[in-house]
Structure 1
Amino acid sequence: MRYREPGGRGGRQREKSFEKKGAADSFAVKVEREKDLGTYIAPTGLLVPLVTVYREFIDSGSRVNGTRYQYETSLRLHVEPYFGATAIGAVKPKHLNSWLKWMVEERGYEESTAINRYETLAGVFSFAIANEYITKNPCHHVRAGRQRVKRRAKKTIRLPTLAEIEAIATHLPGPYQLLVWLMAGCGLRIGEATAVTLQQFDFEAGILYVDRQITQDGANEDPKTKRQKAITKGRGRAHTIRHLKWRDHDEGRAVPLPRTIEAKVKEHLRLYGTFRVEKGLNRMEGDYLFANVGRTNILMYSLVDRLWRNARKAAGITREITTHWLRHFFASAGLARGVPVTDMAEWLGHRDPKITLQTYAHVMPDAPDRLRSVMDAVFNLETELSLPLEFEAMVDAA
């Protein structure tokens, strides 16, 4: 059976063989109908490897470097090892279900992690449809299963004890002990803590303004001058100082600075001073509290990881405590003592307080009882309540 692709007489002529004439006639009708509807996909599109389309998806549009790095990592660790050279048109829902099972059972990932990778792949298939590689998204046929898995998925939050926090801090080298207290006392992520500058503190108001982070994006601007090459050579090439992910360049968050942490910051400044970084390639200017051992460059993840593991071992701690546990400690301690969820969400940098509530509800089991007690005291005139008759509030514009 011979036919032409869209384009009239200028369309490319193709042919396809069938065992029976009826099948050939049905295919001919299908091709003409797809040409009329504008849904015709050339066979060459169906044969393009999935990993090739995935790379095109990564390169398309404007992506935050951290997101690009995550997509590239997922392609390398999860997609390419399983699908290999499989054509995108050959991927069926059953293959996707098997892939999800493979990630959990053979690779040992949490179900929630596998689902996140799946959702990214679903976006790749949508990209393929928009660019006329395929006509149908096979992910649509496994969505119900995906939703069930997401409902079952639970994340275990582990907290360090105060004794463990103090022990790790004590066994870190002096110039890096403050990292522990910025994470445990202000809720900073490790990338935010390593990027703290003197300019971010307002000691008079008791505020730490968080607006930047050191991250390993793997997609930095290439160095051009000798100086740029010198300060970004080796393993540090993948590190950059940039504004917080998903935040505008003039947007950050103001975190209350406890007096105990303020005292530790000032002692750190007295003993170790700051490390000056000028504005330049993959760098934001400022007087940074932390630097590498030789104080010639910013603090890299590899050094933090090595120092952290050594300190934990020296302290005799057998639990696999990570730096992120300190952030959980900060949130749990505040919420357990009655700090409002909305305030804690702002200080943690969560866009939606629902994320904070769902993550840390375990430390607020008595919240309903506290509310009942408050309202009963109000209605029974056991407490004096003074509220304004009207006030202004910030709301999102429609």
Structure 2
Amino acid sequence: MANVQKRPNGKWRARYRDSNGKEHARHFDRKVEAQRWLDEVTTSIVTGQYVDPQSARKPFKEYAEEWRRSQPHRPSTARAVEQHLRCHAYPAWESRTLGGIKPGDVQSWVTSLTSTHKLAASTTRTVFNTVNAVFSAAVRDRMIPLNPCTGVKLPSVPRKQIVPLTVAQVRSLATQIAAPYKGLVYLAASTGLRPGEVFGLQRRHLNLARATLTVDQQVQQTKHGVFVGPPKTDRSYRVVPLPRMATDAVKAHLKSFPAPTQQDWLFTAPEGGPVAYNEFMKRVWRPACRKAGIPDGVGPHALRHHYASLLIKHGESVKTVSERLGHTNAAMTLNIYTHLWPDSEERTRAAVDCAYADRPDEPAQEVA
């Protein structure tokens, strides 16, 4: 029920009942204003865009915590999201309501993350994405009509050009690293697997007869321990062809460090079980890099970049490289490795010259 009535004091009252039977009312000086407001509310109800005015008064922190606890995040993501909100969002908006945070407030907050709190541009964007997800959920839940994060300008992230390891560096690293992980270096360098995907390999993932490797899990380490979970994205589930170098390295590894059952880990920690990233970096990777003369700061992910650079150098398409790496899409691959693709200036010149080579231009005829 919705109507407009004139009150004894001369004001016009517009009222309606929402889908839950709750009555809402506002008072206006003119009847036309009351009717216009009522028409707008009625339209929003009919189109499914109605938002209860009371919903927007919910505290931002209260809603954000409800949202956070309901998300199916993997442990590492859940930890990052909790930190983003606790360290950067709640100090700014803990006492604010969902509807009380405007686009200008979000813009000022984003700017302060880099100017005041000195966060890197990439970190600022990551924190913003978490807050944007909260407000997007609030819009879907009909808590607020619009997302105040829409249109906010973010700091630009300087693009870092990947400098892949050379073949000589990979060989040197494989020579210097502890014996149980020599095969890991060659396998990662020849398949492009993420470190967690390499650590998550079990005997069942190898098909040496067909020279293929299946990726369907990864090992991650958080403050709560080491756990086995699904790959990073849906596209990360993949079957990767094994070059001869990889199959030879795996066979040599299995000869020295057998994995008798299909459930045995291909590479194990010294105390048994899957390799834990932090301990691997401290005890194995960094000492090997120093011996091999590889600069500090280079991590196991460099072997993935090395693999990508080899595919690009030998003419593989963006699509193929993206599929082998398990990227979400080809655009991501280009964004990371575009500088590694050969320059096409000469090929574009040759393409045009070739098209016109057999039909040279004839001089124009003058009109008398």
In structure 2, what is the Cα distance between the partners aligned to 1:253 and 1:335?
19
The aligned residue for residue 90 of structure 2 is 80
| Structure-1 separation of matches of 2:20 and 2:117 | 52
Counterpart-to-counterpart distance in 2, 1:372 and 1:338: 19
Deviations 1:257-285 (A, max 9, x none): 22222222111111111275xxxxxxxx7
TM-fit CA distance, 1:27: 11
1:199 to 183, 194, 204: 204
Structure showing greater Rg: 2
Distance in 2 separating the partners of 1:244 and 1:34: 44
Match of 2:301 in 1: 324
State whether residues 4 and 11 of structure 1, in contact with CA within 8 Å, keep that contact through their aligned partners in structure 2: no
Which consecutive unaligned segments of at least 5 residues does structure 1 have? 219-233, 277-284, 382-398
**Identity of counterpart residues, as a percentage?**
28
Aligned to 1:136: 146
Alpha-carbon deviation of 1:368? 5.4
The aligned counterpart of 1:125 is: 135
Structure 2: runs of 5 or more not aligned: 1-10, 359-368
- Give matches, 1:54-69, under 5 Å: 54-60=64-70, 68=78
SS of 2:316's equivalent? coil
- State the partner residue of 1:294: 271
1:240 deviation in Å? 1.8
C-alpha deviations, 1:110-134, integer Å up to 9, x for none?
A: 4344334434433321221232322
State the match for 2:340 in structure 1: 363
d(CA) in 2 for partners of 1:106 and 1:86?
A: 21
1:14 offset after TM fit, Å?
A: 9.8
Matches within 5 A, 1:366-377: 366-367=343-344, 369=346
- Contact kept? 2:233, 2:328, Cα under 8 Å: no
Report the counterpart of residue 257 of structure 2 in structure 1.
Answer: 272
Secondary structure class of the residue paired with 2:228: strand
Q: Does 1:180 align with 2:157?
A: no
1:1-398 matches, cutoff 5 A: 6=17, 11=22, 36-37=42-43, 38=45, 39=50, 41-43=52-54, 45-60=55-70, 68=78, 70-142=80-152, 145-146=153-154, 154-216=159-221, 235-236=224-225, 239-242=227-230, 245-247=233-235, 252-274=237-259, 286-295=263-272, 297-307=273-283, 308-315=285-292, 317-367=294-344, 369=346
Give the Cα–Cα distance (whole angstroms) in 1 for the partners of residues 299 and 15 of structure 2: 61
Q: Is the 8 A contact 1:275 1:289 kept in 2?
A: no
Amino acid of the structure 2 residue aligned with 1:261: A
Q: Report if aligned partners of 2:186, 2:245 keep a CA contact under 8 Å in 1.
A: no
1:161–1:29 Cα change, 3 Å: same
Superposed displacement of residue 70, structure 1: 4.8
Q: CA deviation at 1:335?
A: 0.5
Letter in 2 for 1:289: L
Counterpart-to-counterpart distance in 2, 1:82 and 1:306: 37
Kept in 2, the 8 Å contact 1:6–1:35? The answer is no
Change (3 A) 1:270 1:26: farther
Partners of 1:239 and 1:355 lie apart in 2 by: 27
1:139-165 deviations in whole A, cap 9, x for unaligned?
A: 2342xx35xx56x75344243344443
Q: Deviations over 1:290-328 (max 9, x none)?
A: 222111x22222322323234334555443112212211
How big is the shift at 1:191? 0.8
Contact 1:239 1:300 in 2 (8 A): no
Normalised by the length of structure 2, the TM-score is 0.74
Q: Which amino acid aligns with 1:51?
A: K
Residues 213 and 134 of structure 1, relative CA distance in 2, 3 Å threshold:
same
| Distance change >3 Å, CA 266–CA 41, structure 1 → 2 | same
Q: Quote the offset at 1:195 in angstroms.
A: 1.1
